[in-house]
Amino acid sequence: MSSPLAVLGGLFDPVHKGHVSAARFALEFLSTQRLKMIPCHLPNHKPEPNTQAEHRLAMLELATASYPQIEVDPIELQRDRVSYTVDTLTELRKRHGMLVFVLGVDSFNSLPEWHDWQKILDLSHLLVLSRQGATLSDETLSAVDIKHRRVDTSEQLLSSPNGKIIYCENFDYDMASSEIRKKITRGDEVSAELDAKVVQYIRDNCLYQN
């Protein structure tokens, strides 16, 4: 069985401990040594980030510095245009072979709204992580033809080259960057949500002060 490259994208505005926990969970679950965290430049299906790309990239590098298996890849920031996941996965597939795209249940539920989303399943598997209070959308499950794609173990997932979906119900976190930004603006404590180096970077650069 070949070792896949796991891919976790997002705005990371700011990156929080839930993001890093998701990356570490994916590495362990897939028994792989490779995961890329990819900050989005200009998302197609979300509002534009509050913070400049250079700051989001720097915070992500600080938050993952202790985890050598996690690589921060600025591939989307270098495009200087709308970020389409399908373009990123196409490029990574050519470079690295088998891919597993890691996403939360909220993002999975919006998948049919993404640009050229069907091709994503031609390029990668999906590892969908549960989140407190969120459930899988019946409409999305139908759209992706879940009966023919869902598997229950990482071994089943990786026995195919692409197109399989696994839902991990035992991963759970209750953090949202939007709420963390509000707390920072109010001057509330965020050490439970953010790495200490990220907190210091935010203070040093006066981010999220409005």
Domain count for the chain, please give it.
1
User: Tens-of-pLDDT digits for all 210 residues of the chain?
Assistant: 568 999 999 999 999 999 999 999 999 999 999 999 999 987 776 777 889 999 999 999 999 999 999 999 999 999 878 889 999 999 999 999 999 999 999 999 999 999 999 999 999 999 999 988 889 999 999 999 999 999 999 999 999 999 999 999 989 878 999 999 999 999 999 999 999 999 999 999 999 997
CATH assignment at residue 121: 3.40.50.620
* CA dist., res. 99 & res. 35, Å (int): 10
Give the residue numbers spanning the domain of 127. Answer: 5-176
What sign for the dihedral angle of Cα 98, 104, 109, 115? negative
What DSSP element (H or E) covers 99?
strand 99-104
* 114 belongs to a structural domain: yes
Say what the pTM is: 0.95
CA 208 → CA 10, 85, 151, distances in Å?
18, 27, 41
CB neighbours of 90 closer than 8 A, spacing ≥ 6? Answer: 119, 123
| pLDDT (tens digit per residue) in 169-202 | 989 878 999 999 999 999 999 999 999 999 999 9
Residue 149 falls within a domain, yes or no? yes
* Three-state DSSP state, 131: coil
| Inside any domain, residue 83 | yes
